[in-house]
Amino acid sequence: MQDAPTFETLTLAIEANVAVLTLNRPDSRNALNLQMCHDIVAACEHLTTHPDAHVLLVAAAGSVFCAGADLKERQGMTTADLVARRVAGFTAYAALEALPMPAIAVVQGAAFGSGGEIAAACDFVLAGEHAAFKYPEVGWGTVGATQRLPRIVGPRMAKELLFTGRVVQAQEAQTLGLVNHVHPADRLMDEARAMAQAIARQNPVTLRLTKHSVDTGLETTRQGAMAVEMLAIQENLRHSDWKKAIAGFTAGKEAGKHGD
């Protein structure tokens, strides 16, 4: 087994096929700085090749998931510096989005700006009752969150959230599709771990191919999407013990018929 590396701005632990990446700048409300961008990319590179990482939880230390970009870091930057910093952020989000295994964001508090992008780069979100989302880029006189957000909530709602920069509380976020489930704050991480453990018990090859098929299929035509799925089915048949799985399913149904 590969040992998880250490990072300046986050922690990474892997246990029982569940990896937990924790944003770890609580004194700065987990604001995304350049070092955290680099650390996220490095952590994702490590996870991509780690045989024991079947599912990833992206969580955060403290009461805030991520308050956005570290604006203190940007003081004194030139235009070129700022562009480079934005590119580093985009690279971090893309690294999370490109992970082959399912990635679940566990949002316990505010996920503003970059925090919303980190959550959106994951496959879906579990939120605590005190979670909140905000996309303040327009109010800061910049552009951001214009690609993932519309794909999640639709273009009309995305425009409202971007143009107004209003705060979306956990329950509304669930209604809009930003969040899959809302849990009491004291049970959020336990619920997230339970879901991750259930997913991790599935065949990792099948999980990765299913994620790839959904993500790739959404970006192509219906005919192209069917071809993507057929190729995934063929690869899955080559690399998974599907005969054993079907035999087990059939045996379970027969046992149920006889009351065993």
Per-residue confidence (pLDDT) for residue 2, from 0 to 100: 54
pLDDT > 80? residue 194: yes
Residues 130 and 212 in one domain: no
Per-residue confidence (pLDDT) for residue 3, from 0 to 100: 65
Residues 43 and 163 in one domain: yes
What is the CATH classification number for the domain harbouring 67? 3.90.226.10
The pTM for the full model equals: 0.91
81 vs 155: which has the higher pLDDT: 155
What is the CATH classification number for the domain harbouring 224? 1.10.12
Residues 59 and 108 in one domain: yes
Per-residue confidence (pLDDT) for residue 1, from 0 to 100: 45
What's the pLDDT tens digit per position in 39-78?
999 999 999 999 999 999 999 999 999 999 998 888 888 9
Determine, yes or no, domain membership for 5: no
Residues 52 and 102 in one domain: yes
> 58 - beta bridge partners?
21, 105
**CA 241 remoteness from chain centre:** 28
Buried b (16+ CB within 10 A) or exposed e, 124-155: bbbbbebbbbbbbbbeeeeebbeebbbebbee
Residue 245 to residue 174: CA distance in whole angstroms: 34
Determine, yes or no, domain membership for 240: yes
Determine, yes or no, domain membership for 1: no
Name every residue whose Cβ is closer than 8 Å to that of residue 108 and which is 6 or more positions away in sequence. 59, 60, 63, 65, 127, 128, 130, 131, 185, 188, 189
Number of structural domains, the chain?
A: 2
Q: Which two tokens stand for residue 240?
A: 């998974």
What is the span of the domain harbouring residue 224? Answer: 204-257
Residues 188 and 238 in one domain: no
Determine, yes or no, domain membership for 228: yes
Domain end, chosen from 181, 200, 219, is at 200
174 vs 219: which has the higher pLDDT: 174
User: 249 pLDDT band (50/70/90 cuts)?
Assistant: low
Domain end, chosen from 174, 200, 226, is at 200
Residues 237 and 178 in one domain: no
User: 259 pLDDT band (50/70/90 cuts)?
Assistant: very low
123 vs 248: which has the higher pLDDT: 123
Residues 226 and 104 in one domain: no
Residues 165 and 250 in one domain: no
Determine, yes or no, domain membership for 2: no
